[in-house]
Structure 1
Amino acid sequence: MKIECKNNGEEKGEASTIRQVSVGLVVTSSTLMVGMNVAWPCILPKMQSDPEGIHITEQDISWLVSLSGIVGMFTSLVTGPLMEHMGPRRLLLLILLPVFFLWLLLAFAPNLSLIYVSRVGLSASMYAISTFIPLYVAELSQAEIRGAIASLTIITSCVGMLTTYATAHFLHWKLATALCAAPFLPLFLLTLFVPESPYWLVRKGMKDEARSSLLKLLGPRADVDRALRDIPNVRKDQVSLLGQIKLLKRKEYGKPVGLVLAIFLLRELSGHNTIFFYSVFIFQRAGVGVDAFLCSVLVGCVRLIFSGVSVAIIDRAGRRACFIGTTVTCFLAEMTSGAFLLCDVTGASWVPVVGVLVYVASYGMGQGSIPWILLGELLPIPVRSVGASIIVFLNCLLLFGVNFVFLMAMNILSVGGILCLFSLSNVVLAVISYVWLPETRGRLLKELENICIENAEDLVVPDHAAERGAYKNEGMEDDVMKTRL
Structure 2
Amino acid sequence: MWVLYIFYIVGWLAIAFAKVPWLLDVGRLLLGFSNGIAGYLLPVYLAEITPKNLRGRFTAGVQMMAILGLSTMYIVGPFINWRILALIGIIPSLVQLPLLIYIPESPRWLVNVGREEEFETVLRSLRGKKANVFEEAASIKDYTDSLKRLSGGGMLDLFQPKYYHSLIVLQHSGGSNAYTYYSGVIFTSAGLSKYVGLSTLAVIQMITAIVGASLIDKFGRRALLLVSSAGLCFGSFLTGISFLLQGHHLWSEEARILALISIWVYMGSYQAGMEGIPWVIVAEIFPINVKGAAGSLAGLTGNICSWTVSYNFNFLFQWSSAGTFFIYSAICGVCVIFIAKMVPERKGRTLEEIQASLTTSP
TM-score by length of 2: 0.92
Match of 1:366 in 2: 273
Is 1:267 matched up with 2:171?
Answer: yes
Match of 2:136 in 1: 227
Per-residue Cα deviation, 1:222-262 (whole angstroms, up to 9, x for no partner):
2232221121214557786xx4224335xxxx23431111x
**1:452, distance to aligned residue in structure 2 (A):** 4.0
Q: 1:421 aligns with which of 313, 327, 352?
A: 327
Per-residue Cα deviation, 1:414-453 (whole angstroms, up to 9, x for no partner):
2x32221111111111111111211010001110013349
CA–CA separation in structure 1 for the residues paired with 2:265 and 2:230: 12
Per-residue Cα deviation, 1:179-215 (whole angstroms, up to 9, x for no partner):
1111111111112201110011111011111112112
Match of 1:188 in 2: 97
Match of 2:127 in 1: 218
Per-residue Cα deviation, 1:163-187 (whole angstroms, up to 9, x for no partner):
1112212212221222111111111
Compared with structure 1, are the counterparts of its residues 228 and 136 closer, same or farther at alpha carbon in structure 2 (3 Å cutoff)?
same
Superposed CA RMSD in Å reads 2.1
Match of 2:198 in 1: 296
CA–CA separation in structure 2 for the residues paired with 1:282 and 1:371: 26
Specify the code of the residue in structure 1 equivalent to 2:333. V
Q: 2:341 aligns with which of 435, 438, 444?
A: 435
> Equivalent residue of 2:90, what SS?
coil
Specify the code of the residue in structure 2 equivalent to 1:195. P
Q: 2:77 aligns with which of 145, 168, 172?
A: 168
Match of 1:277 in 2: 181
Compared with structure 1, are the counterparts of its residues 124 and 148 closer, same or farther at alpha carbon in structure 2 (3 Å cutoff)?
same
CA–CA separation in structure 2 for the residues paired with 1:314 and 1:276: 23
Stretches of structure 2 that go unaligned for 5 or more consecutive residues are: none
Instruction: Work out whether residues 222 and 344 of structure 2, in 8 Å CA contact, stay in contact via their aligned partners in 1.
Output: yes
Specify the code of the residue in structure 2 equivalent to 1:412. W
Q: 2:356 aligns with which of 450, 458, 461?
A: 450
Count of paired positions: 354
**1:154, distance to aligned residue in structure 2 (A):** 1.9
Is 1:406 matched up with 2:310?
Answer: no
Is 1:134 matched up with 2:36?
Answer: no
CA–CA separation in structure 1 for the residues paired with 2:76 and 2:124: 41
Specify the code of the residue in structure 2 equivalent to 1:245. M
CA–CA separation in structure 1 for the residues paired with 2:232 and 2:157: 35
CA–CA separation in structure 1 for the residues paired with 2:195 and 2:133: 51
Q: 1:125 aligns with which of 34, 57, 76?
A: 34
CA–CA separation in structure 1 for the residues paired with 2:11 and 2:173: 30
Instruction: Work out whether residues 235 and 262 of structure 2, in 8 Å CA contact, stay in contact via their aligned partners in 1.
Output: yes
Specify the code of the residue in structure 2 equivalent to 1:445. L
Specify the code of the residue in structure 2 equivalent to 1:401. T
Q: How does 1:71-220 map to 2 (within 5 A)?
A: 92-220=1-129
Instruction: Work out whether residues 215 and 222 of structure 1, in 8 Å CA contact, stay in contact via their aligned partners in 2.
Output: yes
Specify the code of the residue in structure 2 equivalent to 1:247. D
Compared with structure 1, are the counterparts of its residues 125 and 237 closer, same or farther at alpha carbon in structure 2 (3 Å cutoff)?
farther
CA–CA separation in structure 2 for the residues paired with 1:187 and 1:151: 19
Stretches of structure 1 that go unaligned for 5 or more consecutive residues are: 1-91, 460-485
> Equivalent residue of 1:180, what SS?
helix
Instruction: Work out whether residues 67 and 206 of structure 2, in 8 Å CA contact, stay in contact via their aligned partners in 1.
Output: yes
> Equivalent residue of 2:290, what SS?
helix
CA–CA separation in structure 1 for the residues paired with 2:123 and 2:70: 33
**1:293, distance to aligned residue in structure 2 (A):** 2.4
Instruction: Work out whether residues 109 and 288 of structure 2, in 8 Å CA contact, stay in contact via their aligned partners in 1.
Output: no
Instruction: Work out whether residues 267 and 425 of structure 1, in 8 Å CA contact, stay in contact via their aligned partners in 2.
Output: no
Match of 2:304 in 1: 397
TM-score by length of 1: 0.69
Is 1:306 matched up with 2:208?
Answer: yes
Specify the code of the residue in structure 2 equivalent to 1:417. G
CA–CA separation in structure 2 for the residues paired with 1:440 and 1:288: 44
Per-residue Cα deviation, 1:90-117 (whole angstroms, up to 9, x for no partner):
xx11110231121021122001111111
Instruction: Work out whether residues 203 and 239 of structure 1, in 8 Å CA contact, stay in contact via their aligned partners in 2.
Output: no
Instruction: Work out whether residues 257 and 387 of structure 1, in 8 Å CA contact, stay in contact via their aligned partners in 2.
Output: no
Instruction: Work out whether residues 169 and 294 of structure 1, in 8 Å CA contact, stay in contact via their aligned partners in 2.
Output: no
CA–CA separation in structure 1 for the residues paired with 2:25 and 2:43: 28
CA–CA separation in structure 2 for the residues paired with 1:425 and 1:332: 11
CA–CA separation in structure 2 for the residues paired with 1:211 and 1:260: 30
> Equivalent residue of 2:170, what SS?
helix
Specify the code of the residue in structure 2 equivalent to 1:318. G
